[in-house]
Structure 1
């Protein structure tokens, strides 16, 4: 019997073909004029074509002059409304519904960079470290009207309803609802009823303008998970009143944006379905559908949530970035073919933190749907991929899908490369899904996989390969420090693979980057006796390069474990059972060390590439073999090489 996930779901007057929603996610693709550009259209159309029941677009500001964190969707004119209608018609071709997430960015607006203090319920420091301005009571009617007008414009533009953002103590309505932000002393502050007053008035205005049958979904935090914030009991109290004011469905998120970003976008170490308990409790009192968001990245789990009656529908975010056909493949039972989201947030959140458009480790076609299309090459070429890490596996798959004759050489007896290392530390096991997926994909394709096979320049030439992809990876490096015995020095890779067991003692970890942090956590996890770990890092911060959603919980765990962390600290010399370090100008000697573990980065293994780069018609060097980086670059470069060779 088909799962209820794939059966129709009715929200107000909107009937969806299934109960799977696409979550609103800001990825940096937005146009400056607030319209939906071709990149956004291709991105959303791919998910509609992939089978999702309803797309919730990213934030659409009710005030074109109050942008969110960058370029922001909005309705600026009749012409823009007409352009949106063309877009919604394009999505509707696939039987998919589409609604915008309506919001007034309020305290989260970048207006401060324009010299205008961001508006909020009260005066406080926002997520960007800027001081907000408390809205005057007489300013609220105009804002309420903006919400109503924008919702009506959405209706005219062909949207099937709207989602109203009121979660995470974030943006305008969230800041009014949460006692963490709202410190007002008028009828919009103090009690929960007063804090919800603006929300009620906005709902009333929308329904009056758009009609009672125009669907409104409310996104709210089932709990703000903070002793100062709204609780589940607060939300249960509000649900009946919100329904009376016209809410047609509740989308349950959780946490707060400033304090718990890892709860809003749950990553490594966070349980799947993080908001399910609150959603289930709200469903027990609600008369309208309840849907839930938060690390729902496996189809079997999504089906379970709906079939068990815990919720009426699921909101899928990053899993639809990893594979736009997630829903369609799940409905057809093709679960092995779903490119898995492992909650790494390296591409979808990390790239935006670095002011680049969002991407995805396992799906570099995200935001490049038109560009990365696996069409068959008119001139198939005999291709060798040397190295079976994630970059090499992705390259072999991409070249084979483009019709090339591909052989994959891997010197070890198994594929995966450094990804197998990345799976070992605590909370990182999800990453193994990338390897499993790519192995299964390669099994379906005519790729000749040779394990335990080293490839050299002569062999490749004799065999007649036309295209070579060097994906030979990297190896650990040691710092140029007096006293280090290169033959005996222990690196983090050796510890993680337990080639060198470290089960206790007084341990110094040199390097406080991602690998150093994960090694410390691994040491504590594996300890069989007394253990003290000191980690030193030359930079001013531990975990540099980590996405904040993973860095925040990692730092909390390391502190709870008692890891002694020293920043601005440089290793000067290594002695037997001791190390001399300089920490912020002060030289000290760390004595009685039982182990020194080096997590000091890596260096490329590119000897083969240097030998062959001028000897074949096409030679590509990708991933760490070019320069040590993250898997994101390796897989993207694999795709780019395949596209270049079509």
Structure 2
């Protein structure tokens, strides 16, 4: 730690929980040593072994007896994940090592004055935070050790967007009590008896409980603010916000520190167990730390002692104001992934200063939002960034618990990170959207029943960045708990229907699972020999291996329902219109079918191009599902999501490759090397020099085309589209063409095109080995049309969902949501074929 800040902090005598037997002027190293004994009971030594035993004899100051008592009884499935963590006498124990990380969901409330709401005739949604309470309550019931809210601003200038959630008044404080009351009413099982001993309980039994715990994240966006009141360390403009930020005066900085502390005091008054101070991801505190965004010449700028002063003073004053029984987490940017970011020595210096200022836990932050390296998207291998937390831990920089983050979505990954000494805690965020019970299922050894987060961002971050309420592609109930209730057997027996579902893609699986769960009997017909529909193609795309998990989840859940007698699955069965009529009028084992759900999906749309029937022309289904052999030079027609997926597939997979790699098999080191991340952290920001970045050599050369003018992939996900485009561009083997007319395919299989319009057009002949058609889809509506044309009773029983209802870019989010919502309403008289989605509740827009 640098001498200037160290001397100032020591002189104040401020510390989280100072030992009574230490003098007020104890050195920083003495304080860190003394805190180890009270804060880190149960901390493991570093080891590469996945089944390492806990070593409490290493490192000075550990309370070996307390640790042994707490851990003599371990979870048989994931012993490290469910090891309690002692945070000192004032705070006590966390029941396990899992934190639910902060996410913007749109449930955090807004700060619009009521007169303005009335003037706008706007609905005051989320203002009482009931939805937020239900959201966190459900996840507390799932057994997570500690939760952190979405970012709440300490003042108006720190808003994410206009009138976003803030905590600055006693009225706002009181609104939050419904959240903390809900969480504290829930007890979390832990492998520790009340007195810290085993108490003779059998091996593998959780025999004590701790209250649910929740911290409020204090977030000041700085120059990332999406409003005209943005401020930062100096006058600057973020590349991800249209609003320039005004440089803060010295009095502005001091006022902001007071606002952070005031927010923390209000959070404690609202019942929160602590706060997380957001110091990473490129937000305000991070902007002060880095010289490229901090060009000040006062006490908060210049050398690193001064640049880190804001962070240290916020923690210091928060600890003094809130006392020792309050958790203070600091999210520290350990890997900025931007040019001129923090150096590793600066990160270590700040970590030490934060410990001395009184933090309880240091959480890991990875990458600024403007960084051009993926950090949480599905293409990032599981746990890829845990190396940086491990480096800080191995170097014994601090003694407070360290938390690993980013792309951790499975209990095996959590266990591995903890067991090999990479971290003391693990934070997962989006996995709790996908499955609020992920911790409980892990504790009970029910891994196969976990609805795994696939890190697609489509319903969470993509929603958050356009001010919509978040949800989850694989779990539509996420953030809609008060709206969508899927309670087992909630349909009275005399109201239950016998339902036939045709097609087991995303929509069909979702409907079948929901309908059978709430009490209807479902027969699921699938003409192929596997369920999953187009997920079976998506899982083969490099970077989308997580789709294997969604298929596994639905397979397990549907099989469970079949064993309970609530569902039949008939694979290899193609349903015709006449078969629908027969089963609607005759009993085939569970009575006549009362409703038919058509979830037959889509077919590829084939553009009208002369010569399209040439044998070298393939559809995306030929390539992805049937694994057709393709040459080295490929033309891809269509640059939507499918075109980009097929291009990535063809770049990375040779004909000899195993096209079915699982998510846990993806090489993290290769990913980091390809994207230029320096694991040795020799350079600022953790970036390799450009000349040292080695992209894996692609297998093919591709020409990717679209008819319309403009950027290719413009309609891809808001938070992931740039990754897909960058992946193709960085390969140096993909040519992208827009405003293309497809003239003909000649007898050699070569594609003749015209680029541009009018006097600027030019023609080319693409001498390629294959042409792959990715020009969109058309809905399979044959069964629906036949039922309507035939008239009679059957026409009133047929409901179409998913791609069969509306073709799109393989929109699984819409398909799964549609299936779940219709299943919950299928018994309602208001649900009419053809208009059955018109009255369905829509995904609500959020006022930030």
Q: Distance in 2 between matches of 1:81 and 1:531?
A: 58
- Displacement after TM superposition at 1:6 (Å): 1.8
- Displacement after TM superposition at 1:484 (Å): 3.0
Aligned residue in 2 for 1:608: 783
Work out which of the residue numbers 522, 529, 532 in structure 2 matches 1:413: 529
Work out which of the residue numbers 611, 631, 637 in structure 1 matches 2:812: 631
Aligned residue in 1 for 2:438: 326
Say if 2:299 is the partner of 1:168: no
Aligned residue in 1 for 2:703: 534
Aligned residue in 1 for 2:250: 137
**Alpha carbons of 1:321 and 1:182: their partners in 2 closer, same or farther (altered >3 Å)?**
same
Work out which of the residue numbers 353, 356, 367 in structure 1 matches 2:468: 356
Aligned residue in 2 for 1:267: 377
- Displacement after TM superposition at 1:488 (Å): 6.9
Q: Distance in 2 between matches of 1:331 and 1:302?
A: 12
- Displacement after TM superposition at 1:419 (Å): 0.7
Q: Distance in 1 between matches of 2:270 and 2:700?
A: 63
**Alpha carbons of 1:277 and 1:232: their partners in 2 closer, same or farther (altered >3 Å)?**
farther
Q: Are the equivalent residues in 2 in contact too, given 1:60–1:73 (CA < 8 A)?
A: yes
Aligned residue in 1 for 2:101: 23
Q: Are the equivalent residues in 2 in contact too, given 1:224–1:231 (CA < 8 A)?
A: no
Say if 2:732 is the partner of 1:559: no
Q: Distance in 2 between matches of 1:150 and 1:22?
A: 21
Aligned residue in 1 for 2:224: 108
Per mean C-alpha deviation after superposition, the further-off stretch among 154-163 and 351-360 is 351-360
Say if 2:428 is the partner of 1:308: no
Aligned residue in 1 for 2:346: 234
**Alpha carbons of 1:438 and 1:5: their partners in 2 closer, same or farther (altered >3 Å)?**
same
Per mean C-alpha deviation after superposition, the further-off stretch among 224-233 and 403-412 is 224-233
**Alpha carbons of 1:82 and 1:120: their partners in 2 closer, same or farther (altered >3 Å)?**
same
Q: Distance in 1 between matches of 2:226 and 2:730?
A: 35
Say if 2:715 is the partner of 1:545: yes
Q: Are the equivalent residues in 2 in contact too, given 1:252–1:275 (CA < 8 A)?
A: no
Work out which of the residue numbers 126, 131, 136 in structure 2 matches 1:39: 131
- Displacement after TM superposition at 1:25 (Å): 0.4
Write the mapping of 1:366-515 to structure 2, written as runs, cut at 5 A: 366-375=478-487, 376-378=490-492, 379-446=495-562, 447-463=567-583, 464-485=592-613, 489-504=617-632, 506-515=633-642
Aligned residue in 1 for 2:754: 581
Q: 1:451-478, CA deviations, whole angstroms, 9 ceiling, x for partnerless residues?
A: 1111122222222311111000001012
Q: Are the equivalent residues in 1 in contact too, given 2:225–2:243 (CA < 8 A)?
A: no
Gaps (5+ residues) in structure 2?
1-73, 113-126, 187-210, 584-591, 656-697, 828-848
- Displacement after TM superposition at 1:297 (Å): 0.2
- Displacement after TM superposition at 1:559 (Å): 1.5
- Displacement after TM superposition at 1:195 (Å): 0.8
Write the mapping of 1:116-135 to structure 2, written as runs, cut at 5 A: 116=229, 118-126=230-238, 127-135=240-248
Q: Distance in 1 between matches of 2:137 and 2:418?
A: 25
**Alpha carbons of 1:131 and 1:521: their partners in 2 closer, same or farther (altered >3 Å)?**
same
Q: Distance in 2 between matches of 1:366 and 1:249?
A: 28
Work out which of the residue numbers 771, 791, 798 in structure 2 matches 1:596: 771
Q: Secondary structure at the match of 1:581?
A: strand
**Alpha carbons of 1:591 and 1:61: their partners in 2 closer, same or farther (altered >3 Å)?**
closer
Q: Secondary structure at the match of 2:820?
A: helix
Q: Secondary structure at the match of 1:432?
A: helix
Q: Distance in 1 between matches of 2:128 and 2:431?
A: 22
Q: Distance in 2 between matches of 1:642 and 1:493?
A: 29
Q: Are the equivalent residues in 1 in contact too, given 2:276–2:330 (CA < 8 A)?
A: yes
What TM-score does the superposition give when structure 1 sets the normalisation length?
Answer: 0.94
Say if 2:331 is the partner of 1:258: no
Q: Secondary structure at the match of 1:515?
A: helix
Q: Are the equivalent residues in 2 in contact too, given 1:503–1:526 (CA < 8 A)?
A: no
Q: Distance in 2 between matches of 1:350 and 1:147?
A: 28
Q: Are the equivalent residues in 1 in contact too, given 2:294–2:307 (CA < 8 A)?
A: yes
- Displacement after TM superposition at 1:211 (Å): 2.2
- Displacement after TM superposition at 1:8 (Å): 2.2
Aligned residue in 2 for 1:58: 150
Per mean C-alpha deviation after superposition, the further-off stretch among 370-379 and 508-517 is 370-379
- Displacement after TM superposition at 1:71 (Å): 4.9
- Displacement after TM superposition at 1:486 (Å): 8.0
Aligned residue in 1 for 2:801: 622
The structure with higher relative contact order (CA 8 Å, sep 6+) is 2
Q: Distance in 2 between matches of 1:471 and 1:56?
A: 38
**Alpha carbons of 1:591 and 1:110: their partners in 2 closer, same or farther (altered >3 Å)?**
closer
Q: Are the equivalent residues in 1 in contact too, given 2:227–2:243 (CA < 8 A)?
A: no
- Displacement after TM superposition at 1:169 (Å): 2.2
Q: Distance in 2 between matches of 1:29 and 1:383?
A: 35
Q: Distance in 2 between matches of 1:185 and 1:282?
A: 30
Q: Are the equivalent residues in 2 in contact too, given 1:21–1:53 (CA < 8 A)?
A: yes
Q: Are the equivalent residues in 2 in contact too, given 1:390–1:435 (CA < 8 A)?
A: no
Q: Distance in 1 between matches of 2:367 and 2:158?
A: 24
Q: Distance in 2 between matches of 1:148 and 1:387?
A: 55
Per mean C-alpha deviation after superposition, the further-off stretch among 493-502 and 441-450 is 493-502
Q: Distance in 2 between matches of 1:432 and 1:17?
A: 31
- Displacement after TM superposition at 1:499 (Å): 4.7
Q: Distance in 1 between matches of 2:702 and 2:431?
A: 36
Q: Are the equivalent residues in 2 in contact too, given 1:384–1:468 (CA < 8 A)?
A: yes
Q: Are the equivalent residues in 1 in contact too, given 2:136–2:179 (CA < 8 A)?
A: no
Q: 1:581-626, CA deviations, whole angstroms, 9 ceiling, x for partnerless residues?
A: 2236423122423222111011101110122256444432111001
Q: Distance in 2 between matches of 1:516 and 1:44?
A: 39
Q: Distance in 1 between matches of 2:343 and 2:140?
A: 35
Per mean C-alpha deviation after superposition, the further-off stretch among 6-15 and 592-601 is 6-15
Q: Are the equivalent residues in 1 in contact too, given 2:108–2:150 (CA < 8 A)?
A: no
Q: Are the equivalent residues in 1 in contact too, given 2:616–2:769 (CA < 8 A)?
A: no
- Displacement after TM superposition at 1:636 (Å): 0.6
Q: Secondary structure at the match of 1:546?
A: coil
Gaps (5+ residues) in structure 1?
none
Aligned residue in 1 for 2:651: 524
Say if 2:414 is the partner of 1:297: no
Work out which of the residue numbers 87, 94, 109 in structure 2 matches 1:11: 87
Q: Distance in 1 between matches of 2:364 and 2:180?
A: 25
**Alpha carbons of 1:356 and 1:628: their partners in 2 closer, same or farther (altered >3 Å)?**
farther
Q: Distance in 2 between matches of 1:449 and 1:278?
A: 46
Q: Distance in 1 between matches of 2:423 and 2:700?
A: 45
Work out which of the residue numbers 572, 588, 611 in structure 1 matches 2:742: 572
- Displacement after TM superposition at 1:213 (Å): 4.1
**Alpha carbons of 1:501 and 1:302: their partners in 2 closer, same or farther (altered >3 Å)?**
same
Say if 2:323 is the partner of 1:211: yes
Q: Secondary structure at the match of 1:429?
A: coil
Q: Distance in 2 between matches of 1:475 and 1:503?
A: 24
Q: 1:43-86, CA deviations, whole angstroms, 9 ceiling, x for partnerless residues?
A: 11111111111110011111146421355332343233222223
Q: Distance in 1 between matches of 2:235 and 2:85?
A: 41
Q: 1:271-303, CA deviations, whole angstroms, 9 ceiling, x for partnerless residues?
A: 222331111122232111111211110011112
Q: 1:417-438, CA deviations, whole angstroms, 9 ceiling, x for partnerless residues?
A: 1111111121221111111110
Q: Distance in 1 between matches of 2:733 and 2:707?
A: 17
Aligned residue in 2 for 1:225: 337
- Rg: which structure is higher? 2
